[in-house]
Structure 1
Amino acid sequence: MGLSVLSHPQDKEQLLTYFETHIMHILNWLAAFSPDENGGITRLLYTEGWLNTQQALAVKMASHGLETEFDEVGNLFGKLQGEDRHAPSIITGSHIDTVVQGGKYDGAYGIAAGLLAVNYLQQQFGKPKRTIEVVSLCEEEGSRFPIAYWGSGSIAGKRDFEQIARLRDMDEVSFTDAMRECGFGEGSGRSSRRQDIGAFIEVHIEQGAVLETEKAAIGIVDAIAGQRRMKFEVTGEPNHAGTTPMHMRRDALEGASAMIQELRREAMKQGAPLVATVGQLNVQPNVPNVVPGKVMFTVDARHGDEEALGSFCEWVMNTFKRLAEERDLAFSGMEWFSERPVPMDAGIKRHMDEITEELGIASMRMVSGAGHDAVMFEHICKAGMLFVPSRGGISHSPLEYTAPSELAAGVLVLAELLYRLGYGEER
């Protein structure tokens, strides 16, 4: 197709330098609104810091010539109106909330990248054929209240006010009261539900070390991994650690340990993108001189392919049961959480492949092991994601870091993609 944002190939480095300088300016500016006293950034939904950030972003969007509007849950939109007012909007952005003591890149980078890319396109090419919007989603992390994807889920019709009516945070503040205190809530503004979106593009830090290890500058997300969470209980017989011979023991912890080791071996054998994690372990009676009588533990398994994930989880159940029977241990297991893999749009992925090749930027296809707002948007429109590297794979931490040059490469690819979708012929 050929590039559109570069007049000449030699302009690439100059444009990357421009994006590098400006993306760091925006990210540092955003980080200043919600510093955590213990380091990093804590910007939880419907807090003073969250509200100040969204309001400041609205002013900045307006200064860039965008029409700004909040919806009733506090999602902020900056709109660059297109010539065809009836065509579905192209939206880019991410979430503005953080975890406790988070970093300044997670979520915020997608908003900053969108703002910078759209501002550049407007300056260079004027009004697009189709409306392009930058969104600062109110919430994704689930850090304050026990619900996630509140922003994107409200837009997609997967979250509603009934779901949050009884929710409270750790300080017993109700979700509804916190929302109202910030000026939002049911009937406070435009309905969050959207049915006029043609595509959603989310740019995000990887939050893993794959791109850094593979020396790729851009990750083109094939799919967001499905998740299965299971919990298991292994029961043997608690007994004296000194007087019970080894061959007479019904050691629940030894049995659970065998299961965990077998889980790792099989996950390593199957390889990426499958991952499996034992994240919680409870041993009873959990004292030094008693053979453990009961162990409860969890398994979190993720994969980008639904059939492969289901097959692995079936293997887990059958293998754990066999290992328990071999040791004369009682065993029970259940799956308590299941979320299907979400493939990203094939056309958007194809554009990203072409763009990175034409720009000479090293890229790779990959599965996202973490959930993102694109999961929700996929229900109502085409959705695509691109990643930039995270140093050491660190995220959700004040130590999270991506080099400015890598951030700039993501903005450049996003700008070209938005040009194709908003200014080009293809819808």
Structure 2
Amino acid sequence: MNLADVLKKRIDDLSSIGNDPTGGMTRLLYTDSWLQAQKYVEQQAKDFDLKTHFDEVGNLFGRVEGSELPAETIMSGSHIDTVVNGGNLDGQYGVIAAMTAIEYLLAEHGQPKRSLEFISMAEEEGSRFPTVFWGSKNFVGEADVDAVKDIADSEGAKFVDEMHRQGFDFKKEQTRRDDIKAFVEIHIEQGNVLENQKLQVGVVNNIAGQRRYNINLKGEANHAGTTPMSYRHDTVYAFSKICSEAIDRANEVGDPLVLTFGKVIPKPNTVNVVPGEVDFTMDCRHTDAEFLKKFTGELEERMTEIAKSMGIEITIDRWMDEAPVPMNTAIVETIEKKADEGNYKYRVMHSGAGHDSQVIAPHYPTAMIFVPSINGISHNPAEKTEFPDLLEGVKLLADTLYELAYK
């Protein structure tokens, strides 16, 4: 088996499914291109004799039974959906890599001792419907069916109707398997740490926790020419002080803390009116749950103090509070061991982005491998990783799966 040729062909073939006319890829849950992509992966797996099946919601599995311990399963995979106008590696590289690594191991070493299985998860991104991790949450038995029964996409297509149109339905009951002994997900980094440090792979030991906020400042809109500076209740000025002070504090703390004010909407947003209201968002991430809670708590207090001192009302809505998710130490050490043995250039690192692994890790021993992203770009048609890095990632994944399934 020529691993490089097979990998390249699969990336090229799968990337042709869901091309966006404006550039990049758009392959959303329960669309025709989504089903075509899953069917392509299914056929590729059947071609080298994996047993395949879809679960009720559209997750695809490909499996080879173990010779000695078939009830112990080593699994790898990722998600098949994309964001709107995204790249051709986020998600699908992990699916292709898992399937290709299993094919390579079977060709080189024959039947594994433990069962080997890949999963192509139905959805992770939340790009079509207001739900995320639909695939992995169903896989681990914690999907909230009631939360999606009445939702629709931006064009009014209902989630349930689209699911049924593609031949899928809700699971009869939310259960989870008890045979999974390890799950390893490989993914592009979506940052530029590996590229900047000229490394081939990253061994992920933690997925950062996230706190996200919607914040409203309410002051007083007034005439820009007739309102003296000392009489103003200027919400943009208040926001600027909050933003500047918070980011300065985040810079003092440094890695792995990150803080982002990503959306700012001043009102009335007119050149000659003192802005009387501002809506803005705040996104804060860290790998330590207690530190994240303490740091954001201090920011909340300071924002309130700044607003009060300027005669401005503030409303703080913390709508997301996701704890950090540590990866399994034993699997992380296994990946490190194989990286050392194979002379890979690597580092141990955390993930600042969310992944299916954060849903799976509380249920099964889980770890991740990263490959570099050129310029750190992702969720963008310019998303790219040099092919030699993609290949090295698959090789390290195969080495890791060999250690877990054959020994």
Give TM-score scaled by structure 1 length: 0.92
User: Which of 142, 159, 173 matches 2:143?
Assistant: 159
User: In the alignment, which residue of structure 1 is the partner of 2:114?
Assistant: 130
Query: Are positions 1:39 and 2:39 aligned together?
Result: no
Kept in 1, the 8 Å contact 2:57–2:122? The answer is yes
User: Which of 35, 39, 42 matches 1:55?
Assistant: 39
Kept in 2, the 8 Å contact 1:72–1:191? The answer is no
Query: Are positions 1:106 and 2:84 aligned together?
Result: no
Kept in 1, the 8 Å contact 2:57–2:171? The answer is no
User: In the alignment, which residue of structure 1 is the partner of 2:301?
Assistant: 318
User: In the alignment, which residue of structure 1 is the partner of 2:125?
Assistant: 141
Query: Are positions 1:221 and 2:199 aligned together?
Result: no
Kept in 2, the 8 Å contact 1:71–1:191? The answer is no
SS at the partner of 1:237? coil
1:321-340 residue pairs with structure 2 within 5 A?
A: 321-340=304-323
SS at the partner of 1:131? strand
Kept in 2, the 8 Å contact 1:71–1:192? The answer is no
1:24-423 residue pairs with structure 2 within 5 A?
A: 24-186=8-170, 193-423=176-406
- Whole-angstrom CA distance in 2 between matches of 1:408 and 1:261: 42
Kept in 1, the 8 Å contact 2:75–2:182? The answer is yes
SS at the partner of 2:187? strand
Kept in 2, the 8 Å contact 1:20–1:407? The answer is no
Kept in 2, the 8 Å contact 1:92–1:202? The answer is yes
Unaligned runs of 5+ in 2: none
- Whole-angstrom CA distance in 2 between matches of 1:220 and 1:293: 48
Letter in 2 for 1:113: A
SS at the partner of 1:231? strand
Q: Displacement of 1:230 after TM fit?
A: 1.6
SS at the partner of 1:286? coil
SS at the partner of 1:407? helix
Number of aligned residues: 407
C-alpha RMSD of matched pairs (Å): 1.7
- Whole-angstrom CA distance in 2 between matches of 1:145 and 1:85: 40
Q: Displacement of 1:249 after TM fit?
A: 2.1
Letter in 2 for 1:331: I
Unaligned runs of 5+ in 1: 1-14
Kept in 2, the 8 Å contact 1:23–1:404? The answer is no
Letter in 2 for 1:401: K
Kept in 1, the 8 Å contact 2:115–2:405? The answer is yes
The 1:26–1:251 alpha-carbon spacing in structure 2 relative to 1, beyond 3 Å, is: same
Give % identity: 42
The 1:389–1:187 alpha-carbon spacing in structure 2 relative to 1, beyond 3 Å, is: closer
